[in-house]
Structure 1
Amino acid sequence: MKKNNLKIIVVSSKGGVGKSTISMQLIAPFLYEFNGNSPVAFYEFDDENSDCLSYGDSKLTNRKIVEVSSPILREDLAEMFLKEETACFDIGGNKTTTMVLNAFNESGMIHFVDLVVIPLLDGEQDGINAIVIYSVLKDMRPDLKFIFVLNRAKNHRYVEYQFDNFFGDVRGIFENNNSVRNCLLGDDENYIAMLDDDIIKYSRRFGLTIYEIAHQNKDFISLLKLNMKEMSKEQEIKLTSFKNYIKKTSDTYYDDVLKLGFNKLKFILERDHDNQAV
């Protein structure tokens, strides 16, 4: 992997699959660690929504909203890739996807992308759109590296049953020749299961990522004990108790989900590194 110049794009033509959640909760902290625990660039391409602003207190990224309808989008992309920086590119869905990917292709910057992340849910249309994006980008650049994020997975154990539009029908009941995995070129291990959990919602309300909450060094139990001595502080007790819950849940999510995701991202990026142009 290239030092200080890693570029990852998160893209899906389907709206509502969690591109911004995956970008901020998984990719941003991974790049932050890769960058020596220093903030990384974060570009959001979406003229309709600015989801990254929900993480207003996050220190992992330096965020910028990119105007998709800009007549010089190709030039803007080239300027971004000229910077010696580690960066995440969060590309909006629908028409935005087509416009931005065309700009990547026409500018030639697609050849300097290190990894494409495609989020999807468990619905049939999600699988179809994932195949379309994968095929379009493979046509642009055959050696491009991919990883799929199975978003809102219920648990690791049954992920193949929940995401049968990705894996194919593992029960052998239905004929499913259009699963995403059947369309991939010799790669069965390029997915991450992002488990669904309320901590994703609550961390966003605090304006932070799960990663940042998990890495906070705060003793809420001692504060809770102190407040409990003064029973009149009912609101403070409730808030401190809730913050303790958020911290414990974030710790667990980091250990059980994010660390596994980081390891898989590193594996995909480093695999065949010596034999591929980066």
Structure 2
Amino acid sequence: MSVLAMCPLCADDDDVEVVEDLSDGRQRVRHRCGYEWTHGAADVAKSRPAYTLDELRSRFPGPRDVDPKWLLRAEELKAEYLQREPGFDPAVSWTTYQQLFSTDGLWTCDPVDLWAFANDEAGAPPGDPSVFNAAWNEMGTEVAARYTRNTVDYLLRGPDDIPLEDRLQHLLSGTKPFSMPGFKEAMLTKVLCVVDAERFLPILEYTTEAGGKREIARLVYGLELPAPGTVDWTLGRLVVWSNDVLHALAGEGFANQEHAAAFLRWAKDQAAGPS
């Protein structure tokens, strides 16, 4: 055994043998006196029950978890906002980029269009593109365009048996050899906003000091979403699931998802929630 085990009855560590390796990383051991005990510390990751994706999704905080007082406050803010901003003139039309990311358009477009998307702040700033731009210049236009195309294609049209949120995580973590450097959370989320404009809000980061989806959920709805970085709550899952939660909470009455996102950003900067 890697860690010395001592019999708690005899205070003796001679002739201690392993009887069984337990599933949580501990061991069942026995001293020569005949006494048996469980030795070691449980590995949390091994002892935690394995959940299916559907089970995890069902455990994710949602509209059902919002306190009615917070929901009422959010509805009051929404009414106030829609009275001030009943319409919305989008900063950019997604039509051009929708064609760019179509099955045919992605593989036949001018590589410059892919570079331009990663650097276009219209609609929703895609974050700092410096890593992407440096990689693009180092790799050369042809190779960089191929990596970018493969990245977008995997996100949008990857294997059917891999859910969108997990394909997103693969790209965020860089586990796929074709992942384009620097084409990460904000840019990948913006691709989803372009291609599925009815579903995805142009709020491109899950958590940020300036106010990502997690901060908006807390400040507008009093809803605490999970922190990223755990095995089950991967960032890819958090990005997609938090979007769907905010989409559902914002509700109808907006011209488009850009309008709804503008409301959510405005609402998070208003007075604190209900007392």
Structure number with greater Rg is: 2
TM score, norm. by length of structure 1: 0.28
Identify, as 1 or 2, the structure richer in strand: 1
TM score, norm. by length of structure 2: 0.28
